[in-house]
Amino acid sequence: MVKAPLNIVAAVGLALGAIFGMVGSVVIAPNLRAISWAVDGTGLIVATVILALGYFRAGKDAVSSGFLIWAIGEAVMLGGTAGTLQTSVPSFAAGAALWSAALFLTCLPKEFAAWTRTAGIIGALLFAATSARIFWGNALTPLSRPLPFFAYPFLVITFAGWMWPLLKRQPAADKGRNFANQLELALR
């Protein structure tokens, strides 16, 4: 089965977000962190806008809305990426609040596998707590521990679950019966 080019673009964007987001969370040099997070953010914005359009065309409005909100939250965060960790806090807090809402919208409906939805809901709760703490006045940065640092692996797991329907192969007899194929057709 040949995958629609936009499925591949979305999967690559999610993979870039997962890889470079984690790299940016562990590198020490501020310039390498900024570049890593710029690649991460750009890849995720591209991927989630593509997914939002595909799920919207497929009539999955809640999931589509979640992906669109994710793209907006990611764009808000991307605006603070070039600054220092301290100057990025306001955009990070706003973006984390939007990430939380987006994760709930994409993971509460039974569109993805249970493991994806579970990781996404845990991530949503952790990012909601992070955002609330920052807005309450706590001095957190995007690298503070335990939160938000330990929330990032839940995102990576969720991204893998979002990629799975884009990349999995189906026997020809099943073509058109599963959502991945419907999404592929919608993204053409």
Q: Render each residue's pLDDT in the chain as its tens digit; 188 residues.
A: 235 889 999 999 999 999 999 999 999 999 999 999 999 999 999 999 999 999 999 999 999 999 999 999 999 999 999 889 999 999 999 999 999 999 999 999 999 999 999 999 999 999 999 999 999 999 999 999 999 999 999 999 999 999 999 988 544 444 445 555 666 665 65
Residue with tokens 């993805």, as numbered in its chain? 112
Distance CA 63, CA 69 (A): 10
Q: C-alpha angle with apex 115: 144 to 179, nearest 5 degrees? A: 120
For position 29, what pLDDT does the model report? 95
Q: Is the dihedral of CA 124, 63, 52, 159 positive or negative?
A: positive
Query: Locate tokens 């995720």: which residue?
Result: 44
Least Cα distance to 37 among 12, 18, 52 occurs for 18
pLDDT confidence of residue 162:
97
pLDDT of residue 180: 58
Q: How far apart are CA 31 and CA 34, in angstroms?
A: 5
pTM: 0.88
Tokens matching residue 133: 């703490």
Q: 137: left (phi > 0), else alpha (psi -120 to 50), else beta? A: left
- Type of residue numbered 23: V
